[in-house]
């Protein structure tokens, strides 16, 4: 494997969580079927989070639909290139933690065009991480516990939505939560997709007449990027950090655990350029997949390890097919009554919240600083136009050495 300086970020607790969740449903299958399942589970589990995140930072429903379409296409094409070129089951995905970060950050100075400029900046940073080892070394100096604590704090308000939604709109949210609980008993892998399917069914039954035929056609919407300091600091920097710490590095760890080498420099270049090119059309970030990487690299993709790369190709094609449904999905989410889609998003992120908390609190050393980082991120405060995620990381980095000294 080529040099990837940020690999130390993949802490043992994070790796254990990912591989444990992935192994729970592994069984030998065929590469083509494994790829289809990977794409369906990967997209259905978090598309509502992506739409909510893009809308939160200023996108219209049309721009959010364009962003979802762009993410599906860019990750599919990037995955297809890497899989065929290296004959390796390399799986790409959009940054779900990054979308959750956008949801918690909200609108920034400069509006949607400034958010797009921040997406471009994130893509450039990802490319530089592959090309400049020093940048990767700098990111590796950020303690994993703080990166995970920041992400957990960002996720907490979103994961509370099923609770508040169930209290405020039990008729709408109740079936979604019930479906999630029942499917957890049957198949954890399908719990989130099934709960999202129930949420969409609730929308169709209650508000389907509000969706016009014109809303169902996916279209690309261009936005000229604009750069502001507040957007770069509030969005680009935290988005880059959570994408690297929660997606790219664990993605390398999971894929490597099955005996495959990930071409680090080329993968960062492909995903970074894909992010830059997709940003003006609304895509926030693409990266290595983490949990779904085990579906294409593990036994689920067949007993012949030399043929598992076909699963990544199958997933790529499936993502391109699913891209045709972006307009319909966005229209349904926009027409959703009550808190049903917010609750579905919260359920989709509960597993990520659990993994983030486990990684943040796994080591006793620096635990207090991680808790402070978590609390600041969860507070949602904005200081000088900069969101809570950035200040959470600053607080954690400043307090970690101070609290370590006081304990001695």
Domain of 208, in residue numbers: 7-364
Is residue 146 domain-resident? yes
Amino acid 334: pLDDT:
74
Q: What is the pLDDT of residues 105-118, one digit of tens each?
A: 888 889 999 999 99
Least confident of 128-132, 133-137, 153-157, 262-266: 133-137
Detail the DSSP E strand segments found in 54-208. 92-94
* 153 pLDDT higher than 70: yes
Among positive and negative, which fits the CA dihedral 190, 191, 192, 195? positive
User: Who's near 307: CB < 8 A, 6+ residues apart?
Assistant: 31, 301
Is residue 394 domain-resident? no
Is residue 225 domain-resident? yes
Mean pLDDT taken over the chain: 84
- The answer to whether residues 225 and 117 touch, using CB atoms and an 8 Å cutoff, is yes
Q: What is the dihedral of CA 250, 254, 256, 261, to 10 degrees?
A: -70
* Number of folded domains that form the chain: 1
| CA nearest neighbour of 359 among 257, 250, 256, 255 | 250
User: How far apart, in Å, are the Cα atoms of 205 and each of 47, 52, 209, 336?
Assistant: 20, 21, 9, 10
Q: What is the pLDDT of residues 314-345, one digit of tens each?
A: 999 999 999 988 887 787 777 777 678 788 88
Q: What percent of the chain is modeled with pLDDT above 90? A: 35
Q: Do β-strands 286-288 and 92-94 pair in parallel, antiparallel, or remain unpaired?
A: antiparallel
Secondary structure in 3-state letters for 323-380: HHHHHHHHHHHHCCCCCHHHHHHHHHCHHHHHHHHHHHHCCCCCHHHHHHHHHHHHHC
Q: How many CB atoms are closer than 10 A to CB 157?
A: 18
Calculate mean pLDDT across residues 65-70.
94
**pLDDT band, very low/low/confident/very high, at 14 (cuts 50, 70, 90):** very low
Is residue 401 domain-resident? no
**pLDDT band, very low/low/confident/very high, at 286 (cuts 50, 70, 90):** very high
Q: What is the pLDDT of residues 223-259, one digit of tens each?
A: 999 999 989 999 999 999 889 888 888 888 888 888 8
Amino acid 18: pLDDT:
47
Helices 340-348 and 161-168, interaxial angle, to 10°? 150
**pLDDT band, very low/low/confident/very high, at 22 (cuts 50, 70, 90):** very low
Q: What is the pLDDT of residues 159-214, one digit of tens each?
A: 898 999 888 888 888 998 999 999 988 888 788 888 888 888 888 787 655 555 55
**pLDDT band, very low/low/confident/very high, at 288 (cuts 50, 70, 90):** very high
Is residue 383 domain-resident? no
Is residue 155 domain-resident? yes
**pLDDT band, very low/low/confident/very high, at 55 (cuts 50, 70, 90):** very high
Is residue 289 domain-resident? yes
Q: What are phi and psi of 335, to 5 degrees?
A: -90, 0
Q: How many CB atoms are closer than 10 A to CB 253?
A: 22
Is residue 2 domain-resident? no
* 68 pLDDT higher than 60: yes
Q: What is the pLDDT of residues 348-370, one digit of tens each?
A: 778 878 888 988 888 888 889 99
Q: Tell me the three state secondary structure of residue 17.
A: helix
């Amino acid at each position: 494997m080529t040099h990837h300086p940020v690999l130390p970020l993949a802490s043992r607790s994070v790796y254990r969580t990912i591989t444990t969740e992935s192994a729970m449903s592994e069984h030998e299958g065929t590469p083509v079927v494994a790829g289809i399942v990977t794409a369906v589970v990967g997209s259905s589990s978090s598309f509502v989070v992506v739409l909510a995140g893009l809308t939160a930072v200023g996108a219209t429903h049309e721009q959010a639909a364009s962003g979802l379409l762009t993410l599906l296409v860019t990750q599919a094409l990037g995955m297809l290139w890497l899989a065929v070129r290296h004959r390796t089951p390399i799986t790409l995905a959009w940054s779900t933690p990054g979308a959750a970060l956008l949801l918690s950050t909200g609108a920034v100075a400069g509006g949607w065009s400034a958010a797009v400029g921040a997406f471009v900046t994130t893509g450039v940073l990802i490319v530089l991480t592959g090309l400049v080892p020093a940048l990767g070394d700098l990111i590796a100096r950020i303690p994993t516990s703080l990166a995970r604590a920041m992400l957990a704090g960002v996720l907490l308000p979103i994961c509370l939505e099923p609770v508040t939604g169930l209290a405020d709109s039990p008729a709408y949210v109740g079936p979604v939560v019930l479906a999630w609980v029942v499917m957890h008993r049957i198949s954890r892998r399908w719990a989130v997709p099934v709960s999202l399917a129930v949420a969409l069914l609730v929308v169709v039954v209650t508000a389907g007449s509000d969706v016009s035929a014109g809303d169902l056609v996916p279209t690309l919407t261009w936005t000229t990027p604009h750069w502001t300091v507040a957007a770069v600091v509030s969005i680009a920097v935290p988005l880059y950090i959570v994408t690297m710490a929660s997606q790219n590095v664990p993605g390398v760890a999971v894929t490597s655990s099955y005996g495959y080498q990930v071409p680090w420099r080329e993968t960062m270049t492909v995903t970074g350029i894909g992010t830059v090119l997709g940003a003006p059309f609304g895509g926030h970030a693409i990266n290595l997949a983490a949990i779904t990487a085990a579906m294409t690299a593990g036994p689920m993709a067949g007993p012949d390890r030399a043929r598992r790369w076909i699963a990544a190709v199958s997933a790529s094609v499936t993502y391109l097919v699913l891209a045709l449904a972006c307009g319909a999905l966005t229209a349904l989410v926009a027409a959703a009554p009550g808190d049903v889609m917010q609750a579905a998003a919260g359920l989709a992120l509960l597993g990520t919240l659990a993994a983030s908390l486990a990684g943040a609190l796994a080591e006793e050393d620096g635990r207090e600083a991680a808790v402070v980082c978590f609390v600041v991120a969860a507070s949602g405060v904005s200081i000088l136009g900069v969101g809570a995620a950035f200040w959470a990381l600053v607080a954690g980095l400043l307090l970690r050495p101070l609290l370590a000294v006081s304990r001695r």
